[in-house]
Amino acid sequence: MGIRREGMAEFRGGGRSVKTSKPFKRPIGRLQIDQESVAECRSLASEISAPIEELARTHTTVSIERACLRFAGVDGVEGEGVEAAPIPNRVVEEIARTVGLERGVLIPFFHAVDATGGDVQGAAEAISSGDLVPAWPEGDDYERARAGAEAAGESAVATIAAAKESRDGAIGRVGDATKPWLYLIVATGNIHEDIPQAQAAAREGADVIAVIRSTGQSLLDYVPYGPTTDGFAGTFATQENFRLMRTALDEVGEELGRYIRLTNYASGLCMPEIAALAAMERLDMMLNDCMYGIIFRDINMQRTFIDQHFSRMVHSLAGIVINTGEDNYLTTADAVDSAHSVLASQFLNERLALSAGLPEEQQGLGHAFEIDPDVPNQVALEIAHAQLIRECFPNAPLKYMPPTKHMTGNIFRGYLNDGMFNLVGALTGQDIILLGMMTEGIHTPFLSDRDLAIENANYVFGGSIALAGELRFEPGGDVERRANQVLEETRLMLAKVAEIGMFAAIEAGMFADTVRTRTGGKGLSGVVRRADAYVNPVADLLGQSLGVT
Amino acid sequence: MAAIRPYGDATDDGLIQLSFTLPIAESERAKQAALEFAKKMDLGRPQVVHMKAMGPDFTFFILYGASPHSVDPEDLVVVEREFPVLSYQEVNRVLRESLKRQLVVVGACTGTDAHTVGLDAILSMKGFAGDHGLEYFPEMRVVNMGSQVDPADIVETVRHHEADAVLVSQVVTQRDAHIAHLREVRAALAEAGLREGLILVGGGPRFNPEQAAELGYDRIFGRGTKPSEVASYLTFAVTRTLG
- CA-nearest of A352, A219, A389 to A296 is A219
pLDDT of residue A118: 93
Average pLDDT of chain B to the nearest whole number: 90
pLDDT of residue B146: 83
Instruction: Check residue A520 and report its DSSP letter.
Output: -
Q: In the β-sheet with A363-364, what is the strand arrangement from edge to edge? A: A363-364, A321-323, A285-287, A261-265, A208-211, A181-186, A432-434, A399-401, A366-368
Rg over alpha carbons for chain A, rounded to the nearest Å, is 24
Stretches in chain A below the pLDDT threshold 50: 1-15, 17
- Which residue from A215, A331, A332 is facing B113, i.e. has the nearest CB? A215
The answer on pLDDT for B113 being more than 70 is: no
The answer on pLDDT for B75 being more than 80 is: yes
Q: How far is B240 from chain A (nearest CA, A)?
A: 33
Going from N- to C-terminal start, the domains of chain B cover: 1-78, 88-242
Question: Which bin fits B143, alpha (ψ -120 to 50), beta or left (φ > 0)?
Answer: beta
pLDDT of residue A5: 35
- CA-nearest of A308, A507, A219 to B147 is A219
- CA-nearest of A75, A136, A92, A87 to A111 is A136
Helices and strands, number each (H, E), in chain B:
7, 8
Asked if A231 and A220 touch (Cβ cutoff 8 Å), the reply is no
Contacts of A158 (CB under 8 A, 6+ apart): none
Long-range contacts of A150-153 (CB under 8 A, 24+ apart): A150/A537, A150/A541, A152/A68, A152/A71, A152/A72, A152/A73, A152/A106, A152/A110, A152/A537, A152/A538, A153/A536, A153/A537, A153/A538, A153/A540, A153/A541, A153/A542
Q: Do B113 and A333 touch (CB under 8 A)?
A: no
pLDDT of residue A305: 98
Q: Judging by beta carbons within 10 Å of its beta carbon (0-12, 13-18, 19+), is residue B97 exposed, middle or buried?
A: exposed
Strand partners, A264: A286
Q: How far apart are CA A521 and CA A219, in angstroms?
A: 10
pLDDT band at residue B13 using 50, 70 and 90 as cut-offs: very high
Q: Is the peptide bond before A180 cis (omega within 30 degrees of 0)?
A: yes
Residue-wise pLDDT for B82-97, tens only, equals: 899 998 889 999 999 9
Alpha helix (H) residue ranges in A406-512: 411-427, 447-464, 478-500, 502-507
Q: A33-55 burial, b for 16+ CB within 10 Å, e for fewer?
A: beeebbebbbebbbbbbeebbeb
Going from N- to C-terminal start, the domains of chain A cover: 61-155
- Which residue from B113, B116, B148 is facing A332, i.e. has the nearest CB? B116
Helices and strands, number each (H, E), in chain A:
19, 13
pLDDT band at residue B234 using 50, 70 and 90 as cut-offs: very high
Strand partners, B167: B107, B201
- CA-nearest of A414, A412, A410, A420 to A459 is A420
pLDDT of residue A240: 97
Q: How far is A208 from chain B (nearest CA, A)?
A: 17
Identity of the amino acid at A200: A
Q: Is A369 helix (H, G, I), strand (E, B) or coil?
A: coil
Identified catalytic residue from A225, A292, A329, A400: A292
Instruction: Check residue B133 and report its DSSP letter.
Output: -
Q: Do A451 and B60 touch (CB under 8 A)?
A: yes
Calculate the alpha carbon distances from A42 to A353, A354, A358, A498, A514 in Å. 13, 12, 16, 11, 24
Q: Judging by beta carbons within 10 Å of its beta carbon (0-12, 13-18, 19+), is residue A280 exposed, middle or buried?
A: buried
pLDDT of residue A526: 98
Average pLDDT over residues B123-127: 73
Calculate the alpha carbon distances from B213 to B173, B181, B216, B220 in Å. 20, 15, 5, 9
- Dihedral of alpha carbons B141, B145, B146, B150, sign: negative
Which CATH class name applies to B1-78? alpha beta
Write the CATH number of the domain with boundaries B88-242. 3.40.50.280
Q: Judging by beta carbons within 10 Å of its beta carbon (0-12, 13-18, 19+), is residue A409 exposed, middle or buried?
A: middle
Rg over alpha carbons for chain B, rounded to the nearest Å, is 24
Interface probe with B: pick from A185, A203, A215, most Cβ of B within 10 Å: A215
* Residue A292 designated active-site: yes
Q: B65-90 burial, b for 16+ CB within 10 Å, e for fewer?
A: bbeeeeeeeeeeeeeeeebeebeeee
Q: How far apart are CA B231 and CA B243, in angstroms?
A: 18
The residue count for chain A: 549
Interface probe with B: pick from A451, A455, A513, A514, most Cβ of B within 10 Å: A451
**Number of Cβ pairs < 8 A linking chain A and chain B:** 62
Q: How far apart are CA A142 and CA B185, in angstroms?
A: 54
Task: Give me the helix-helix angle, A62-72 and A537-546, nearest 10°.
Answer: 90
| Cβ-based contacts of A446 with chain B (< 8 Å) | 21
pLDDT over 70, % of chain A? 96
Interface probe with B: pick from A236, A405, A448, most Cβ of B within 10 Å: A448
pTM, two decimal places: 0.85
Identity of the amino acid at A506: I
